[in-house]
Amino acid sequence: MISQNVMDGCGRNLVDELGRKVNRTSQLDFGVGPDADPAYKWDTKRKLLSLLEVCALPSANERLRSLEEVEKEIASILQNAGFAIQELAKDKPVERQLERFYAQFHSSLSRVETELTGHIRYLTQVTTGQPHEGSSNAPRKDALMAMHRVEHTRIKLGELAQLCEQSLGPAPP
């Protein structure tokens, strides 16, 4: 009898412990939880290395940002050319304004030329012409298999907890 009570108590503790363990596997930070999609859908949820993640690399980000600045410079070239011609079209054009717009036009033009030439020179140095054959598929497969292991463990623990609940009946209030 004592052993039966102890067994019940142990069983109850086990159910509680199993419940805690199930929750612990669910809290693994893969964006999945008790109500989340099953494991076979995780790979579709995992973000592949998007361009944004690639751009998080500092060197890549700097180069792309400088190209964005070049695009703005190109727009300012056209704008300053337009302003200069507009100033010239007036009945009484102000020479200082005209010279200022022309100077800005010319400096933007030089900056664009310098920047783009630098980028093309860099590309000449780093381009190999051969396709890059590196991939992160192997570590990705390993990570996916690890997540499958976790999911499998979670399912098994859930089943065990359910079995214990059925055997021992609902917990007393």
Give the integer Cα–Cα distance in Å for 88 and 112. Answer: 25
Instruction: Kindly tell me which residue out of 52, 120, 171, 173 binds another protein, with binding defined by CB under 8 A.
Output: 120
Four-residue CA torsion sign, 83, 86, 88, 94: negative
Q: Binding string, 52-91, against another protein, x = CB under 8 A?
A: -xx--x-xx--xx--x--xx--xx-xx--x--xx--xx--
What distance in Å separates the CA atoms of residue 25 and residue 155, rounded to the nearest whole number? 10
Which residue's CB is nearer to another protein, number 50 or number 166?
50
Q: Collapsing DSSP states into helix, strand and coil, what is residue 6? A: helix
Greatest alpha-carbon pair distance for the chain in Å reads 112
CA distance linking residue 92 with residue 86, whole number of Å: 11
Residue from 35, 91, 135, 172 touching another protein (CB under 8 A): that is: 135
Cα-atom radius of gyration of the chain, to the nearest Å?
33
Residue 103 makes contact with another protein by CB under 8 A: no
Residue with smaller CB distance to another protein, 106 or 169 = 106
Residue 163 contacts another protein per CB under 8 A: no
Give, rounded to a whole angstrom, the gap between the first and last alpha carbons of the chain: 22
Decide: is 6 part of the binding site for another protein (CB under 8 A). yes
Site for another protein in 12-41 (CB under 8 A): 14, 17, 21, 24-25, 28, 30
> Residue 147 interacts with another protein (CB under 8 A)?
yes
139 binds another protein, rule: CB under 8 A: yes
